[in-house]
Structure 1
Amino acid sequence: MMLPVIVTRPEPGNAATVARARAAGLDAFAMPLFAAVPIEWRPPDAGEYDALLLTSAQAVRLAGSGLDRLVSLPVHAVGAASAAAAEAAGLRVAATGTRDAQALIDAMTSSGKPRILWLCGRERSDFDARGARLDALPCYAVDPVAPPAGWDRLIGDSAVILAHSARGAARIATLTEGRRGRLSLVAIGPAVAEAAGEGWAAVTVTDRPEDAAMVTAAYALCQKAQK
């Protein structure tokens, strides 16, 4: 019997992940624990910056018309989804990071001290700018919502849970306290795995920050469980 795969990221990414997982033959369930919403923001003068950093496709989806004032900036995006969202919005993607945000920032600052505008969420991680200018500008918020109906049933037995962010992993950890012994976690990066805490039946960290890698890892865990 195939293990259920629990997808916790906010929409619209949740539906995309569920569809990808089901196409791979997995028994995937949409269990978003957050909702992403736009917040008021004011775009700065693009001439004050050398690059635009995007660590989530949500920033592009929820930025609104203010994004038009930043089209002159080359985009450095974490993951293929962020890069694709940027290109679809008419932005020019100069680099796509295949690891985490810190690795991309390290690459951006390895040969100079660029002025980086980071279009991000209201709640965000801290990164080392390596002496460069890194200005965080929130344009959206990701707010927690009550677990959907069926959450308690799904985590009450063996299952695979996907964690797409450190904040999401921390929420998952809170909601599975004392019940992780039969649950396996797929984390999109090392920091995400760390935020999820200990006590899991298994933890898999993807080799790249992409949804496809998450589904591949979940598939491997489900196949292993069937043997």
Structure 2
Amino acid sequence: MRRPIVAIRGEPGLSQTLALARTSGLNVTGIPLFLVHPLDWALPADMDFDGLLIGSANAIRHGGAPLERCKHLPVYAVGRQTAEAAEGAGFTVSHVGTGGLQSVLDHSRARSKRFLRLAGSERVPLKTHAGQEIVEICVYDNAPVPAPDSLADSLALGGVVLLHSAAATLHFTNECNRMGIDRSRIILAALGPRIVQDAGTGWAAIHIADKPRDAALLALAENICQ
């Protein structure tokens, strides 16, 4: 019997993951455990930045009116999906990362740069290099919501759970404990190593995608299920 694959990220990312899975002929069940919503925010008085540092397309989708005053700044995007969202909103993309937002900073360390980072309330800490400065502003929240009974039903006999953030790992773990889901039957498949660094023990297995991209994560899940 083929293990079920469950994606728990919030919308609109969940729909994008499911659509990509369908194009690959992969059956993935979507059970969103997060609700993304915009936050009230304001730009700093000093807008002398060299670029926007964007680690999620949600910063573009939920940034709201203040984004219009940032259109003159080139975008340094974590990956292709985020870059496409920025371009679709009228931004010019200067660099597209391939290994997380830290790699974007590493790529730019030869030159002094001051970045405005538009991010979610839950985000990965970054290490700057000499001459780099980051001003961070939260523009959206990715709030956890209680899991429906269908999650326990889907994973009653085990399965593979796709994880896109460290917050997802923590929330899913807590929901497994609350609902009595046997984690020894669950395989975690994560977009990157930091996502599962606090996953704890007792899982059937933990696997990491070879690239921080949905396509790589889905390919990993398919291999696990073979």
TM over 0.5: yes
Aligned to 2:114: 115
| Deviation of 1:45 (Å) | 5.8
Aligned to 2:41: 41
AA paired with 1:33? L
Aligned to 2:210: 207
| Deviation of 1:79 (Å) | 1.6
AA paired with 2:225? C
- 2:197 match: secondary structure: helix
| Deviation of 1:179 (Å) | 2.1
- 2:171 match: secondary structure: helix
| Deviation of 1:213 (Å) | 1.3
| Deviation of 1:195 (Å) | 3.0
Aligned: 1:128 with 2:154: no
Aligned to 1:166: 166
What count of residue pairs does the alignment treat as equivalent? 222
Tell me if the contact between 2:4 and 2:155 (Cα under 8 Å) persists in the aligned partners.
no
Distance 2:44 2:191 in 1: 31
Aligned to 1:13: 13
Aligned: 1:139 with 2:120: no
- 1:181 match: secondary structure: helix
Aligned to 1:194: 197
Tell me if the contact between 1:4 and 1:26 (Cα under 8 Å) persists in the aligned partners.
no
Tell me if the contact between 2:18 and 2:30 (Cα under 8 Å) persists in the aligned partners.
yes
| Deviation of 1:99 (Å) | 0.7
Instruction: Write the deviation string for residues 181-224 of structure 1: whole angstroms up to 9, x where unpaired.
Output: 1111111111012132332222221122211111111111111x
| Deviation of 1:46 (Å) | 7.5
User: 1:23/1:149 Cα in 2 relative to 1: closer, same or farther (>3 Å)?
Assistant: farther
AA paired with 1:21? A
User: 1:2/1:67 Cα in 2 relative to 1: closer, same or farther (>3 Å)?
Assistant: same
| Deviation of 1:165 (Å) | 0.8
Tell me if the contact between 1:32 and 1:148 (Cα under 8 Å) persists in the aligned partners.
no
Distance 1:195 1:57 in 2: 25
Tell me if the contact between 2:192 and 2:208 (Cα under 8 Å) persists in the aligned partners.
yes
Aligned to 1:179: 182
TM-score (norm 1): 0.91
Aligned: 1:31 with 2:34: no
- 1:10 match: secondary structure: coil
Distance 1:36 1:2 in 2: 31
| Deviation of 1:102 (Å) | 1.7
Segments of 4+ moved more than 4 angstroms: none
Structure 1 unaligned runs (5+)?
none
How large is the Cα RMSD of the aligned pairs? 1.7
Tell me if the contact between 2:146 and 2:175 (Cα under 8 Å) persists in the aligned partners.
no
More displaced 10-residue stretch of structure 1: 82-91 or 99-108: 99-108
More displaced 10-residue stretch of structure 1: 60-69 or 46-55: 46-55
Tell me if the contact between 1:46 and 1:72 (Cα under 8 Å) persists in the aligned partners.
no
| Deviation of 1:31 (Å) | 1.0
User: 1:192/1:118 Cα in 2 relative to 1: closer, same or farther (>3 Å)?
Assistant: same
Aligned: 1:222 with 2:221: no
More displaced 10-residue stretch of structure 1: 7-16 or 191-200: 191-200
